[in-house]
Amino acid sequence: MSIVCFNELLPSQCVPQLFHIFLTFIANCLSVFLFFFFLAIYLCKRTMQNKARLELADYEAENLARLQRAFARKWEFIFMQAEAQVKIDRKKDKTERKILDSQERAFWDVHRPVPGCVNTTEMDIRKCRRMKNPQMVKKSVYGVTDESQSHSPVHTPAQPIRKTTKEDVRKQITFLNIQLDRHCMKMSKVAESLMSYTEQFLEYDPFVTVPEPSNPWISDDTTFWDLDSSKDPSQQRVKRWSFSFNEVLMDSMGRDLFLKFLESEFSSENLRFWLAVQDLKQRPLQAVPDRVLEIWQEFLAPGAPSSINLDSHSFEKTSQNVKDPGRYTFEDAQEHIYKLMKSDSYTRFLRSNVYQDLLLLKKKGKSLTSKRLTGLMQSS
Q: What are phi and psi of 139, to 5 degrees?
A: -120, 145
Which residue would you say has higher pLDDT here, 288 or 85? 288
Q: What percent of the chain shows pLDDT beyond 90? A: 28
| Range in 34-38, 118-122, 248-252 with the lowest mean pLDDT | 118-122
Query: Is 336 in contact with 313 (CB distance < 8 Å)?
Result: no
pLDDT of residue 373: 53
Query: Is 203 in contact with 209 (CB distance < 8 Å)?
Result: yes
Which of the four pLDDT bands, split at 50, 70 and 90, describes residue 257?
very high
Residue 130: is its pLDDT beyond 80? no
Residue 182: is its pLDDT beyond 90? no
Residue 29: is its pLDDT beyond 60? no
Q: What are phi and psi of 145, to 5 degrees?
A: -70, 140
| Range in 117-121, 134-138, 140-144 with the lowest mean pLDDT | 140-144
Residue 169: is its pLDDT beyond 70? yes
Which of the four pLDDT bands, split at 50, 70 and 90, describes residue 348?
very high
Residue 76: is its pLDDT beyond 80? yes
Which residue would you say has higher pLDDT here, 294 or 23? 294
| Range in 2-16, 80-94, 129-143 with the lowest mean pLDDT | 2-16
pLDDT of residue 325: 92
For the CA atoms of 348, 353, 358, 359, the dihedral, rounded to the nearest 10 degrees, stands at: 70
- How many whole angstroms separate alpha carbon 89 and alpha carbon 221? 52
Closest CA to 269 of 244, 292, 291, 295: 295
Which residue would you say has higher pLDDT here, 369 or 71? 71
Residue 132: is its pLDDT beyond 80? no
Give the mean model confidence (pLDDT) for residues 186-209: 87
Which letter, b or e, does each residue of 75-97 get, where b requires 16 or more Cβ atoms within 10 Å of its Cβ?
A: eeebbebbebbeeebeeeeeeee
pLDDT of residue 140: 45
Residue 197: is its pLDDT beyond 80? yes
pLDDT of residue 284: 93
Which of the four pLDDT bands, split at 50, 70 and 90, describes residue 323?
very high
pLDDT of residue 196: 92
pTM, entire model: 0.51
- How many whole angstroms separate alpha carbon 72 and alpha carbon 66? 10
Chain segment 224-243, per-residue pLDDT in tens: 777 766 667 888 889 999 99
Residue 173: is its pLDDT beyond 50? yes
